[in-house]
Structure 1
Amino acid sequence: MENSTDEELIGLIRISDYAAFDELHRRYWPSLRRLAYRKTGDQADAYDLVQELFIDLWEKRETLAFGAQLNGWLHNRLWFKLSAYYRTKGFQQKHLENIRLNLEQVSNAPQLDPLEILAEQKNYDQLLEVVNHTIQEMPDRMREIFLLNRNEQKTVVEISKKLGISPKTARKQLDRAMGKLRRSTQQYKTSAMELLFITWLISN
C-alpha cells in the first residue's frame, strides 16, 4: 500500500478497502493535525477536527468527489471544519493566546502554508483578495492600528500607548476598519467571526 498513488488509494477506498483507508490516514494525518493545531491552538480540538474529517471520508467514500489533487481536497475539507469550529466557538482569548504561542514554535515549518487550505476554493480565493485589497487601501494610521490588533493581538490600550493616541481613537479606527471589511465582503455573506478568521489566516 505504501507505494500506491493517491488515485489508487481512492479507488480502493471507494470499494471499502480499509487497508487503503489506513494508508491514506497514515499518509495525511500528521500534516492535517499540525495544521489544525496551528489554527486552533488546542491539541484536543485539532485531533477531533481531523478525526471527524477522516470519519466523514470513510462514511461518504462511495459518493465523495475527491478532485485531481487529494492533498488540496483534504485541506479544503479541513477549511470547512475550521470555519465551523470558529463559528461555534468564536475567537476566545485562550484560543488567540494558544495560537500565538504555537505560531512562534512552528513559524518556520514550510508545510504549514496558511493559505494552502484555501487553494481549491475559488470563492475564498476571491474573498482573500478582497480582504487584502481592503486592508491595503485603508488610510495609513487605520491600517497600522488594525494590523497591530490583528497580527500582534495588541489591545486598544497597548496600541494607544505605542502610537501616542487615546484609547477612544484607537477603538474608533478599529471599528471603522472592520466596517470597511464588512462592506467590501458583503456579497460573500461572511459573519463577523468568519471575517476575523479570514483576516487572521492571511496575516500569519
Structure 2
Amino acid sequence: MAQHTDQELISLIRESDYAAFEQLHARFWPELQKLAYKKIGDRQDAYDLLQDMFIEIWEKRETLNFGDRLPGWLQKRLWFKLSTYFRNQGFRKQHQDDFKVYLENENASDFDPIELKEAEAYYEDLLAAINKAIDEMPNRMREVFLLNRNEKYSVNEIADRLGLSPKTVRNQLERAILRLRKSTETYNPSALQILFILWIIKR
C-alpha cells in the first residue's frame, strides 16, 4: 500500500477511502495508545476509549475539521475524550459509593434481591441520561454543578473560585438540578428506583 502524507490521508478519508483510514489508524494508534494508557492506567479502558475515538472519526469523516496538523489534531481529540472519561468516571464512582451507603442506612435488606438487581441495571440507564444532561449544560452551569457535586465545594467556595456571586451560583445549581429532573421524566421507575431518583436529585 502506498504511504500517503497526512493531508492526502485527510482528503482520502473524507471521500470514504477506508484503506486510507486504516493507514491513519496504523500510523497514529501506537503513540495515542501510549498517551491514553499513561493517563488512564488501565490498558483495556485506554484501548476502548481510543477505539471509540477512531470510530467517531470514521463516522463523522465528512464533517470533521481536521486542522492543519493531523498529529496535533488527534492529540487534542484524545484530550477531549480523556476529559469526558474522567468526568464520567468520577461522577459514576462517587454516586455508586454514596448510593450504596444510602441503601445501607435505609435498611436495603427490606428490598427483594431481584429488585435490587433491577435497580442496578436501571441505574446504568439513568446515569447515562444524567451524564447526557450534564454534557448538554452550558459550560458555566456544568462547571458550577460539577464543583458542587464532584468536588464538594460549597456555594461560597464556588463563588470565590469562579468570581461569581453566591446568588448566581445558587441559580446555576437550581437550573442544573431542574435539567436533571427533566432528564428522568420519561422513566417509569419502581419504588426502589424512585428512591434512587429522589436521592440523586435532592442530595
TM-score range, shorter chain: 0.3 to 0.5
Report which structure shows greater RCO (CA 8 Å, sep ≥6): 1
TM-score by length of 1: 0.46
